[in-house]
Amino acid sequence: MNAEGLALELRGIHKRFGATVALNGASLSVRAGTLHALLGENGAGKTTLMHVATGLTHADSGELRFDGRPVRWRSRAEAITAGLSAVHQHFSLVPAMTVAENVALGGRRAWTRFSARTAAARVRTVAAAAGLSVDPYALVADLPVAAQQRVEIVKAIANDAPVLMLDEPTAVLSPLEAAELMRWLRGFVQSGRTVVVITHRIREALQYADAVTVLRSGRTVLAAAMPDTDEHAVLAALLGEAPTRQPPDASPGTPSSPTEPRQAVLVLRDMTVIGESGVRRVAPTSLSVHAGEIVGVAGVDGGGQRELLRVLAGRLAPSAGSVHLPDSIGFVPEDRLRDAIIPGLSLVDNLALRGAGSRHGRLRWPDFSAATRSAIRDFDVLVADQQGAISNLSGGNQQKFVLARELAGNPRALIVENPTRGLDVRASRDILERLRAIRAAGTAVVVYSSDIEELLSIADRIVVCFAGVVRETALDADVIGRAMVGAA
Amino acid sequence: MIETVVLDGFLQAMVRTATPLAFAALGELIAERAGVINIGLEGAIACGAFASFVVAMTLGPEAGFLAGGIAGMAVALVFAFFVITLRAQQIIAGAAVSMLGLAVSASLHRVVVASGSPSAHVDTLSAVRIPGLADLPLVGTALFAQPVTTYALYLLVPAVSWWLYHTTGGIAMRAVGEYPPAVTAAGHSPQTLQLLALLACGFLAGLGGATLVVAHSGTFSDGMSAGRGFIAIAIVALGRWTPRGVVGGALVFGGVGALQFLTQSMGWRTPYTLVLAFPYVLTLVAMAAFRGSRAAPAALGHTLEPIP
Amino acid sequence: MPVPRLVPVLASVLAPVAVIAGAVIGVSLLIMAAGYDLPGAAHAAVAGSVGSSFAILSATLKRATPILMLGLAVAIAFRAGVLNIGAEGQFLAGAASACAVGLAAGPVLGRSSVFLELAVGATAGACWAGLAAVLKRWFSIMEVVSTLLLNFVAVHLVGYLIRGPLQEPSGSYPQSSLLEPAARLPLLLEGQRLHAGFPLALVIACLVWWFYRSTAAGFRFRVTGSSRAAAASAGLINVDAVQMQALIASGAIAGLAGACEVTGVTYALYDGLSPGYGYTAIAVALLGGLHPIAIIASATLFGALGAGADAMQRDAGVPAEFAAVAAALVVLGVLAVPSVRRFRLRTGGERRP
């Protein structure tokens, strides 16, 4: 053990990806035997720093010390052998293989024999010692998300590594499951290991961590042990603004006077969705969305909101029940690069994409070009080269363009899924403002967001999806949080 | 009733015909399990056959057999370069490599024949009876009175099976075909694993081509691979991507090829060409019955993400 | 700093030229190493492919005709994201049905039987591809495997037909009777063997080009091939239906190619009617960047290659197989170039993980 008792130390890390600067002199000092939280907004560089620490990426410059010794990981394998285990944000489990096989995949040693029985016994041992329960013979594809998370953790600790890093481990868990995980991590640290948790959930981090490091724009702006800092200072460092966080925009929409009946634009009656292999995704649901209102949807992964949104957007046919939808509905899905745009094609092509499914006869390119120009103008889309591919635009501008496209033709309804994901603060605020404007213009809007604060800042009504059951709740963060877990 | 002599003969021919197919299909199985569809197999078989022919002329059939494997590996290396390093589309690269392998082997054959004696013959490996086992009823001659090339297969199939399912290396290789990010996160290199898989694939395909020369005909002719590379792909699908299934599929196709033996001996008057189509139809039916590609590795055909 | 626009444009023009040059050099080396007379071979190849009007029309363009149509067929499928490698089988289906119809209807309908032959050929090709489309839609069988398997089935079916129902009257040869002159595609010029199939292929290329540029359906094909997910979600396109349509359209053109070959060149059905045209078509489509007009050029090139190879063998004694090496090198070269470009760009500026 080194003099300062630092298990992991990164100093002055710089990393660029082409023209983008991901890390600009970031540092991280983690004392052995502590639970350390690495905080920052989206795009602050947390994941990149973790990749550098675990050997998945090489830093352009900077120092890396593991257990007091300077190291330069040549590969992820080297870091694993040295004792740095990791659980990544997107699961790295093979769905078609069993838990035991997946755990064996993460093994430290090179090519060795694999016997299903021995491996299963080992999994059980490791899991039991850690107080987790997993079935070694289960196929990962059959497991629910929280169980997969447990498998990821067993895989990481099976190597008996002294240091464990987790990237947004609670992102896909309900508040109850998240609390359970954090408590388990605390217990794990007590047994002498070191844990680094990357998260953007400040409250959670402050509640369980021994020390925090805050990244902003690729630099470390705060590094302190818990007794020496508080939520106030952490928030200030995170946002780089005045210490008091701007309250979420205080106009949750001007509700029209109660006596004025608003027309129901989207109507679901006893709508049910049965997914593949007969699993029920959405229970019989009746819901109406009216013109000029924003209905917010909340729920953890697998709660049914994904299917609900797609039924409302007319992209998914329900298995039962009736659905009354207008002809034209705008849809902005979460995975923009895969579902909303074709990155290699031009803006005009991407604009022409809307409605392509039902278009007949000849195409009128001049019309599409004119519509593209209007969209760029009306939505302040920053485009360096109008003829170029849409992939050249920044994420925020792409999102604005998608919104503009979906609203062309004045649809009576707009469905939006995690509209500000991956966008910086300014772009996010812009998008939310536009959603409010769209509502004011009389469109029916449905918004799903995994950020409850964001939802509360724009929604008139909230529905929560839990295990397929869709229920309307009060506009209160606690109530929503409990409903997301299924508690009363 | 079919006389035992004829049946024995048929079964023996079935295994004989199935052997080169099984080699090629076993190789293709490894490649596809690692996520790569290798249509370049045809080129590997052709080059393997040619290399074995040339080497066997001077060093004998056993050396020719091995040389075939090495030539197959060389072809696979070219394919691997395009698919892994250049990240080209697998189907297209495979078609191109097949074209190249067929053309190169045919061209070199012309050159060798022009300078040497026309239609030379090499010594072939004759059937080796395994004492005791070869006397078993029904399967004795079929399984244990074959050239050593077939016996090599008997060792290779369980070896491949053991590698894929009972070593961590095999798990990692299969994981590349299912979900490559899991492999990267575990600290292994999907690219390296795919390269190893393709080299093994090429080696086995080359052995299959060599078998055609040193254990069957004793000579090389253009196009003697006769689509076996493509048949191997069908066999892997028919066998649902398992080693055992591959052996079964190879026997089916081998059986059809050996039917020629039966029809001649029995004097059956069948539309022989239609019978030739049977294994392909069977594969389609089997795939339809088992809902097609469910058994296929999830990331089959996908190009790997570039190394960050 | 953005890369100047000139570079990518230059690269996309120079690349095919570089590839072809590389292939020519490779084959020349092979010819020299094998001890043949290179200048003589080169002279024979050029004379045989473009050296005279006969060479151009009756050798190069005549060979280019089926390759052009098949290249278009393959390109339509590939561009919609459908890996149709069954062009070979669809070609044979078209050839066999056109021949059968021609033998039966020729005596009855005379000159107009040609239209029927072509129509039936295209339909047969469409149905053969349709089989694969159905297997994909209803049984989730990858079209790569099913079209490949159906190629073999088609070859053996033709083998059966020419030894059975369609066999020529004497019963001694595995081939069909000859189509009577009235049932054949007319030749374009006296003394040349170029037939009406060639202008037909050009027309189809132009139609395909117009289809992609100006029609809503063509747009659907294009975006489905570019991104299935976005086409379905953002475009509300029925991607399964579009891909089925593309596969069937591809088969129709391939079948038409087969019909033209039988009614315009061979006048009969026999084993080995297609020397791997269906697979060459993949190379042709790729070299042309899946663009119909560029495919005209690449098909002509491959036609010239085949004609030159024949002439080299006939007049200079160089085995025709050498030309096959050139064809393979061309395809590999095409693959290498965009990939190499991407490769270079990638090491210059990594993508964010």
Which chains form contacts with chain A, at 3 or more CB pairs under 8 Å? B, C
Q: Write down the pLDDT at residue A249.
A: 45
Find the mean pLDDT for residues B15-33: 95
Q: Which residues of B touch A90 (CB under 8 A)?
A: 181
**Better-scored residue on pLDDT, B270 or A111:** A111
Separation in Å, CA of C257 to nearest CA in chain B? 21
Query: Would you call B87 and C140 a contact, using CB atoms and an 8 Å cutoff?
Result: no
Task: Provide the pLDDT confidence category of residue C181 given band limits of 50, 70 and 90.
Answer: confident
Q: Write down the pLDDT at residue A443.
A: 92
The answer to whether A80 and A92 have CB atoms below 8 angstroms apart is no
B37-89 pLDDT, tens digit per residue, is: 998 999 999 999 999 999 998 888 889 999 999 999 999 999 999 999 988 88
Of A126-130, A296-300, A468-472, the least confident: A126-130
Please tell me which residue of chain C has the smallest CA distance to B82. Answer: C336
- With 0-12 / 13-18 / 19 or more C-beta atoms within 10 angstroms meaning exposed / middle / buried, residue B141 is buried
Q: Write down the pLDDT at residue A230.
A: 83
Q: Write down the pLDDT at residue A4.
A: 65
Query: Would you call B91 and C83 a contact, using CB atoms and an 8 Å cutoff?
Result: yes
The topology under which CATH files domain B2-109+152-289 is ABC transporter involved in vitamin B12 uptake, BtuC (1.10.3470)
Query: Would you call B186 and A80 a contact, using CB atoms and an 8 Å cutoff?
Result: yes
Q: Tell which A residues from 16 to 75 touch B, by Cβ distance under 8 Å.
A: 55-57, 75
C2-22 pLDDT, tens digit per residue, is: 444 566 666 666 777 788 888
Task: Provide the pLDDT confidence category of residue A347 given band limits of 50, 70 and 90.
Answer: very high
Q: Write down the pLDDT at residue C54.
A: 80
Q: What is the 3-state secondary structure (H, E, C) of chain C?
A: CCCCCHHHHHHHHHHHHHHHHHHHHHHHHHHHHCCCCHHHHHHHHHHHHHCCHHHHHHHHHHHHHHHHHHHHHHHHHHHCCCCCCCHHHHHHHHHHHHHHHHHHHHHHHHHHHHHHHHHHHHHHHHHHHHHHHHHHHHHCCCHHHHHHHHHHHHHHHHHHHHHCCCECCCCCCCEECCCCHHHCCCECCCCCCCECHHHHHHHHHHHHHHHHHHEHHHHHHHHHHHCHHHHHHCCCCCHHHHHHHHHHHHHHHHHHHHHHHHHHHHCCCECCCCCCHHHHHHHHHHHCCCCHHHHHHHHHHHHHHHHHHHHHHHHHCCCCHHHHHHHHHHHHHHHHHHHHHHHHHHHHCCCCC
Separation in Å, CA of A383 to nearest CA in chain B? 28
Q: Write down the pLDDT at residue A206.
A: 86
- With 0-12 / 13-18 / 19 or more C-beta atoms within 10 angstroms meaning exposed / middle / buried, residue C205 is buried
Query: Would you call B291 and C140 a contact, using CB atoms and an 8 Å cutoff?
Result: yes
Separation in Å, CA of C57 to nearest CA in chain B? 27
Of residues C30, C144, C353, nearest to B37 (C-beta): C144
Query: Would you call A77 and B184 a contact, using CB atoms and an 8 Å cutoff?
Result: no
- Counting Cα atoms < 13 Å in the Cβ hemisphere of C239 gives 21
User: Domain map of chain B by residue range?
Assistant: 2-109+152-289
Find the mean pLDDT for residues C28-32: 84
A211-235 pLDDT, tens digit per residue, is: 999 988 888 988 999 888 888 788 7
Q: Tell which C residues from 253 to 282 touch B, by Cβ distance under 8 Å.
A: 279, 282
A18-75 pLDDT, tens digit per residue, is: 767 889 899 999 999 999 999 887 667 888 899 899 888 888 999 999 988 898 888 8
**Better-scored residue on pLDDT, C345 or A96:** A96
Query: Would you call A92 and B186 a contact, using CB atoms and an 8 Å cutoff?
Result: yes
Please tell me which residue of chain C has the smallest CA distance to A405. Answer: C234
Query: Would you call B185 and A55 a contact, using CB atoms and an 8 Å cutoff?
Result: no
Which chains form contacts with chain B, at 3 or more CB pairs under 8 Å? A, C
Q: Write down the pLDDT at residue B267.
A: 61
Find the mean pLDDT for residues A434-461: 91
Query: Would you call B187 and A75 a contact, using CB atoms and an 8 Å cutoff?
Result: yes
Task: Provide the pLDDT confidence category of residue B20 given band limits of 50, 70 and 90.
Answer: very high
Query: Would you call A105 and B182 a contact, using CB atoms and an 8 Å cutoff?
Result: yes
A475 three-state secondary structure: coil
Separation in Å, CA of C346 to nearest CA in chain A? 9
Q: Which residues of A touch B181 (CB under 8 A)?
A: 90, 92
Query: Would you call C135 and B277 a contact, using CB atoms and an 8 Å cutoff?
Result: no
Q: Which residues of C touch B237 (CB under 8 A)?
A: 145
Of residues C151, C164, C351, nearest to B271 (C-beta): C164
Q: Write down the pLDDT at residue A34.
A: 93
Q: Write down the pLDDT at residue C343.
A: 42
Q: Write down the pLDDT at residue C351.
A: 33
Query: Would you call A342 and C226 a contact, using CB atoms and an 8 Å cutoff?
Result: yes
Task: State how far the Cα of C61 lies from the Cα of C59, in Å rounded to an integer.
Answer: 6
Q: Write down the pLDDT at residue A278.
A: 65
Please tell me which residue of chain B has the smallest CA distance to C321. Answer: B107
Find the mean pLDDT for residues C95-120: 91
Q: Write down the pLDDT at residue B261.
A: 65
Question: C4 — contact with chain A (CB < 8 Å)?
Answer: no
Query: Would you call A357 and C351 a contact, using CB atoms and an 8 Å cutoff?
Result: no
Separation in Å, CA of B130 to nearest CA in chain C? 37
The tokens describing B171, both together, are 């798990």
Q: Does the pLDDT at position C61 exceed 60? A: yes
Contacts across the A-B interface (CB distance below 8 Å): 76
Average pLDDT value over all residues in chain A: 84
Q: Tell which C residues from 185 to 244 touch B, by Cβ distance under 8 Å.
A: none
Q: Does the pLDDT at position A260 exceed 60? A: no
ipTM attached to this prediction: 0.85
A65-116 pLDDT, tens digit per residue, is: 998 889 888 888 888 888 888 888 777 899 899 999 999 988 766 678 888 8
The tokens describing A118, both together, are 């021995």
Find the mean pLDDT for residues A141-152: 84
Query: Would you call A356 and C2 a contact, using CB atoms and an 8 Å cutoff?
Result: no
Question: C33 — contact with chain A (CB < 8 Å)?
Answer: no
Query: To which residue do tokens 């006296």 refer?
Result: C190
Find the mean pLDDT for residues B214-218: 87
Q: Which residues of C touch A349 (CB under 8 A)?
A: 223
Task: State how far the Cα of A231 lies from the Cα of C21, in Å rounded to an integer.
Answer: 68
Average pLDDT value over all residues in chain B: 86
Closest CA to A183 of A164, A165, A211, A207: A207
Q: Which residues of B touch A101 (CB under 8 A)?
A: 171
Task: Provide the pLDDT confidence category of residue A277 given band limits of 50, 70 and 90.
Answer: low
Closest CA to A306 of A327, A284, A333: A333
Q: Which residues of C touch A384 (CB under 8 A)?
A: 2
Task: Provide the pLDDT confidence category of residue B131 given band limits of 50, 70 and 90.
Answer: confident
Query: Would you call B82 and C335 a contact, using CB atoms and an 8 Å cutoff?
Result: yes
Looking at chain A, the whole-number percentage of residues with pLDDT higher than 70 is 90
Separation in Å, CA of B240 to nearest CA in chain A? 14
Task: Provide the pLDDT confidence category of residue A299 given band limits of 50, 70 and 90.
Answer: confident
Q: Write down the pLDDT at residue C20.
A: 81
Which of C223, C224, C243, C347 should one mutate to test binding to chain A, selecting the residue with the greatest count of A CBs within 10 A? C223
Q: Which residues of B touch A111 (CB under 8 A)?
A: 167-169
Separation in Å, CA of A338 to nearest CA in chain C? 6
Question: A109 — contact with chain B (CB < 8 Å)?
Answer: yes
